Amino acid sequence: MILNPESKYPNRRMYVVKLRSDATAQAFAGRLENLVTGDQHDFSSAEELLKSMLVDLDSVAGQQATDPAEEFPPLPPSST
């Protein structure tokens, strides 16, 4: 059985959304923070929040290893 080394919900995609104290349904505003990278994006609408998440996902995707197998090559066969 081969297990997928990549989590379905990786930590690098963990976010905190902080809403401003004066935010309302009509004035949706706050900050998005990636908990792994520490990157923060302020937003003043639901559309800006979504855009901030997409921009952050693109930047995190560019930092990932291209192939996890290259990072951890297979172990040589045992000689026992």
Query: Per-10-residue mean pLDDT for the chain, 80 residues long?
Result: 80 93 95 92 96 86 53 56
- Sheet order of strands, 40-43 included: 15-19, 30-34, 40-43
Whether 54 contacts 48, CB under 8 Å: no
Q: Tell me the three state secondary structure of residue 41.
A: strand
Query: Which pLDDT score is estimated for 24?
Result: 94
Q: Provide Rg for the chain, Cα atoms.
A: 19
The encoded tokens of residue 63 equal: 């930092």
- Overall pTM > 0.85: no
Q: Helix H segments across the chain? A: 46-63, 68-71
Query: Which pLDDT score is estimated for 33?
Result: 94
- Per domain, the residue ranges of the chain are 11-62
